């Protein structure tokens, strides 16, 4: 597995990371703990050094899972986690955002315990909190960095203005946001700003929450605990219409004798050398399929073909429900 450096920082990670949310939360029932530990350790054996989690995944259980799985190899991996929500420790409910400096520091201490480590490699603000100036947020993380409890500061789903203001207080190592062949909104303002400031980009859902694998159609049913069931882009009507995009990707994949998922990931990797996608999975064969995308070379002709083919398609449906969308700052 090749390595990449996030922006102008010193943080070097595997070219493809592993998003761990779905092992505990979001995409249906949590996976079997032993199986998920085996998967995480299998990723390490295959060269993955970058693992993504958050306190709210579970909540809390995903961090604990990573802490146990990665304890034997802690010095050889990079762990990213996130703060920024209120979480009721009794019910696990998340009634809103909370990025007050004192709360950030409380979350850091709790995350360190669950992750079984003395330092968080990359600490993201999960969502921008309009009630707390971003300068205060950056300042709190700067304190944690000076105390040796955090190495790098990150933001998730933040807009250009927030990025610039935060970066002026404490260098932002990476921005994490959704980016894929079916969500390209960051190209307008976010990516040029990241390039200018020297900030790395960590695309989550590079496979379109599974849709770009070609395994989901209008007849697919989702578990009641799978959040895709609430997403407009995953309504049966939208899925039927959006199959047109997948069909274009499948055409390219057949020519290269690879899978649609591998084309979607190879496309992200080809965009910029400071981009590190973090596809998630709960299955070893999917992990191996995803990691194999790193060795697929898309030349200028391939990229032009993908661009022309996908530009003909207008993706149907909003990427989040109305309630979730309110938590995203642009």
Q: For residues 296-305, give the mean pLDDT.
A: 96
pLDDT(283) > 80: yes
pLDDT at 93: 85
**Phi, psi for 184 (deg, rounded to 5):** -115, 15
Confidence of residue 330 (pLDDT cuts 50, 70, 90): very low
Residues 6+ apart with CB under 8 A from 40: 18, 20, 23, 51, 65, 66, 69, 70
pLDDT(77) > 70: yes
Nearest CA-CA partner of 174 in 123, 232, 210: 123
pLDDT at 324: 74
| Sequence spans of domains, the chain | 3-208+271-296
Residue 12 near residue 271 (C-beta atoms within 8 A): no
Residue located via tokens 């054996």: 45
Q: What is the pLDDT of residues 140-194, one digit of tens each?
A: 999 999 999 999 999 999 999 999 999 999 999 999 999 999 999 999 999 999 9
Question: What is the model's pTM?
Answer: 0.97
**Phi, psi for 301 (deg, rounded to 5):** -65, -45
Return the biggest CA–CA distance within the chain: 55
> Quick one: what percent of the chain has pLDDT higher than 90?
94
CA separation for the pair 15, 294 (Å, rounded): 7
Architecture of the domain made up of 3-208+271-296: Alpha-Beta Barrel (3.20)
Q: Is 179 a catalytic residue?
A: no
pLDDT at 50: 99
Q: What is the pLDDT of residues 108-133, one digit of tens each?
A: 999 999 999 999 999 999 999 999 99
Q: What is the pLDDT of residues 232-265, one digit of tens each?
A: 999 999 999 999 999 999 999 999 999 999 999 9
pLDDT at 95: 79
Residue 132 near residue 99 (C-beta atoms within 8 A): yes
- Using CA atoms, how far residue 122 sits from 23, 153, 171, 291, 323, in Å, is 20, 6, 12, 22, 27
pLDDT at 94: 83
**pLDDT, greater one: 179 or 90:** 179
Q: Please provide the DSSP assignment of 120-159 as one string.
A: EEEEEESS--TTS-HHHHHHHHHHHHHTTSEEEEEEES--
Q: What is the pLDDT of residues 302-311, one digit of tens each?
A: 999 999 999 9
- Using CA atoms, how far residue 36 sits from 69, 114, 284, 308, in Å, is 8, 16, 9, 39
Residues 6+ apart with CB under 8 A from 253: 259, 260, 262, 263
Q: What is the pLDDT of residues 35-63, one digit of tens each?
A: 999 999 999 999 999 999 999 999 999 99
Q: What is the pLDDT of residues 92-109, one digit of tens each?
A: 888 799 999 999 999 999
The end-to-end CA distance of the chain, in Å, is 34
> Pick the catalytic residue: 27, 57, 124, 320?
57
Give the 3-state DSSP-derived string for 86-112, with helices as H, strands as E and coil as C: ECCCCCCCCCEECCCHHHHHHHHHHHH
């Amino acid at each position: 597995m090749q390595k990449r450096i996030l922006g102008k920082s010193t943080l070097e990670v595997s070219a493809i990371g592993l998003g761990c949310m779905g092992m505990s939360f979001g995409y249906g029932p949590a996976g079997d703990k032993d199986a998920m530990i085996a998967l995480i350790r299998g990723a390490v054996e295959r060269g993955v050094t970058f693992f993504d989690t958050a306190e709210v995944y579970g909540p809390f259980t995903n961090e604990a899972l990573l802490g146990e799985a990665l304890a034997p190899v802690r010095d050889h991996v990079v762990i990213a986690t996130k703060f920024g929500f209120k979480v009721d420790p009794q019910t696990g409910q998340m009634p809103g955002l909370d990025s007050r400096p004192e709360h950030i520091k409380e979350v850091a201490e709790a995350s360190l315990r669950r992750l079984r480590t003395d330092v968080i490699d990359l600490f993201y603000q999960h969502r921008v909190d309009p009630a707390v100036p971003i300068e205060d947020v950056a300042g709190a993380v700067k304190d944690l960095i000076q105390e040796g409890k955090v190495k790098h500061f990150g933001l998730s789903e933040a807009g250009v203005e927030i990025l610039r203001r935060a970066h002026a207080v404490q260098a932002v190592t990476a921005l994490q946001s959704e980016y894929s062949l079916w969500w390209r909104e960051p190209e307008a303002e976010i990516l040029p700003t990241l390039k200018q400031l020297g900030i790395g980009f960590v695309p989550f859902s590079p496979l379109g929450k599974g849709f770009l694998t070609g395994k989901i159609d209008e007849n697919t049913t989702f578990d009641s605990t799978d959040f895709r069931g609430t997403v407009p882009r995953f309504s049966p009507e939208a899925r039927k219409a959006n199959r047109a995009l997948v069909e274009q990707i499948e055409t390219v994949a057949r020519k290269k004798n690879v899978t649609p998922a591998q084309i979607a990931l190879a496309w992200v990797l080809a965009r910029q050398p400071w981009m590190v996608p973090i596809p998630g999975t709960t299955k070893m064969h999917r992990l191996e399929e995803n990691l194999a995308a790193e060795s697929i070379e898309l030349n200028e002709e391939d990229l032009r073909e993908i661009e022309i083919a996908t530009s003909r398609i207008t993706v149907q449906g909003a990427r989040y429900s109305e309630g979730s969308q309110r938590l995203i700052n642009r």
